Structure 1
Amino acid sequence: MKNLVIIFAFLIVLRPAFPFLEYALDYEYISTVLCENKDKPQLNCNGKCYLMQALADASEKESTQKKKSTMSSIELLPFIIEVNELSIPIGFAEETQVTFSFYPNLSARETATGLFRPPIV
Structure 2
Amino acid sequence: MKYKFISLVLIMALSFQCLIKIGLISYYSINIEYIIAELCENKDKPELKCNGKCYLKKKMGEADKAEKQTTGIFKQIEFPVFIPHVHLSIDPEYILIENTIPELKNLYTHTLNNKIFHPPLV
User: Could you tell me the TM-score, scaled by structure 1's length?
Assistant: 0.51
User: 2:56 maps to which residue?
Assistant: 51
User: 1:78 maps to which residue?
Assistant: none
User: Distance between the aligned counterparts of 2:117 and 2:28, measured in 1?
Assistant: 74
Helix, strand or coil: the match of 2:77? Answer: coil
User: 1:36 maps to which residue?
Assistant: 41
Q: Which runs of 5+ in 2 are unaligned?
A: 1-7, 80-93, 95-111
Structure 1 runs of 4+ aligned residues shifted over 4 Å read 8-13, 116-121
Q: CA deviation at 1:115?
A: 3.5
Q: Percent identity?
A: 34
User: Distance between the aligned counterparts of 2:22 and 2:70, measured in 1?
Assistant: 17
User: 2:99 maps to which residue?
Assistant: none
Helix, strand or coil: the match of 2:47? Answer: helix
Structure 1 residues 13 and 50: alpha-carbon distance in aligned structure 2, compared to 1, 3 A threshold: closer
Q: Which runs of 5+ in 1 are unaligned?
A: 75-84, 86-107
What is the root-mean-square deviation of aligned Cα atoms in Å?
3.5
Which is greater in Rg?
1
1:21 maps onto 2:21 in alignment: no
Structure 1 residues 70 and 120: alpha-carbon distance in aligned structure 2, compared to 1, 3 A threshold: closer
> Quick one: which of 67, 73, 88 aligns to 1:68?
73
Q: CA deviation at 1:46?
A: 1.2
User: Distance between the aligned counterparts of 1:17 and 1:46, measured in 2?
Assistant: 19
* Deviation digits for residues 9-61 of structure 1 (CA, Å, limit 9, x no counterpart): 97664443222111101100000000011122122111111011011011011
Helix, strand or coil: the match of 2:41? Answer: coil
